Structure 1
Amino acid sequence: MGTKIPFAVRLFSLGLLLALFVAVVGAQPAGEGDGPALANPGVGLADCVNGLAGVYPCQNVDLLAQPDLAATGGGIGKDIWGWTDPLDGAEYVIMTRSNGTSFFDLSDPTAPVYLGNMPSTIGSSTWRDAKVFENYAYIVADALVHGIQVFDLTRLRDVTSPPVTFTPDFLYEGIDNAHNIVINEDSGFAYAVGTDTCNGGLHMLDLSNPAEPVFA
């Protein structure tokens, strides 16, 4: 899966993103922003009624689940993406946080299973982004000396005793930091944006070997 996020992931993501909006914009932990420090407990199913799914604004979308951020890696929620396993159609969520990346199994979208955490290369970051090409996730951050973490998503199939701590399969060190990464699935090229290279322009990567991208 690349840019087309499956239905179950979208529903889960919408509910989670509403929670992340609260966490990022209005509930940052003390010392990590100007917002007040608020708890972020997990919540379950909530139908969208009169514009609210539980306490979250909604429009024609029910909240399926909101995992407890503190119990699934901590930090501040940043962004979200997804992957569909081509082997069996299983769906997974990739959730980036200020201090790492969390992975969830969506076999039951109303009860996502937290598979584990891949810590940041170094420290926390004001932003972290993930995209998928074929069976690999590419994770960038605004943190200095972070690089691009490359993670083989097929490893998620083999997690039998979650949660576990993951390590990247490869670290691309042609950049230190990036705000975002975009992938053209048709051409097999990735574009890291807002990096410390190329005068801040596009840092282009050839994904012919998706496990070990190279500068294009």
Structure 2
Amino acid sequence: MSEQVTEMTSVAGVRWGLVFWEQAGRAHAAVTGPETRTGTAPVPEGAIFTGVEFAVGTSLRVVPTAALVDGGITLPDTTHRAFRLDGARWETPGPDDVEVLVDRLVRAGTVVRDPLVAEVLRGRRPAVSGRTVERRFRAATGLTRGAVRQIERARTAAELLAGGDPAGDVVAALDYFDEPHLARALRAYVGRTVGQLRDGAGGAIALDLERRAPVSA
């Protein structure tokens, strides 16, 4: 439940998802898409959210992931009991029912997966041309491989900095050119400076920056 937070910093992300929320006695549902930049997102007063993010390489059968990038779609006919997706009615999940819903969507073929994307993300070289790899990767994710790498790297950098790692160590660990390069990536994808991440400043942010011990010596 949102607690006196009216807006938060949205963070670039490479996954699409489903989100369900209740506000003022009404139920809502939406498909959210990958985000290529940071921004500011409103937080509805008194809203209660349940959501799930799907793995990179999965997609909805009826909606190209590219059509969801930096946006999303509101699902019609949503009630506290059910919502409509891919021409069918599905039970609206609670926090403990999300995995059951995902399993049903996969078994019904509503959520599909391109195994080639998983191979590429594991560092393997599929037995197809580079052009085919890029075409299928973009079709499944809505993003290029380069964009996925940059966004994921910036998110990892934010987590390391929030955990106490020095900026210089993060630059070296994640192959940034230098600290200004890291700073530009954080501004573009996370909406925070190194200092804000280190100090936990800047307000609410849509990223889990749980404090942990630094990984650097």
- What is the TM-score with the length of structure 1 in the denominator? 0.25
**Larger RCO, structure (CA 8 Å, separation 6 or more):** 2
Query: Rg larger in 1 or in 2?
Result: 2
Question: Higher helix share goes to which structure?
Answer: 2
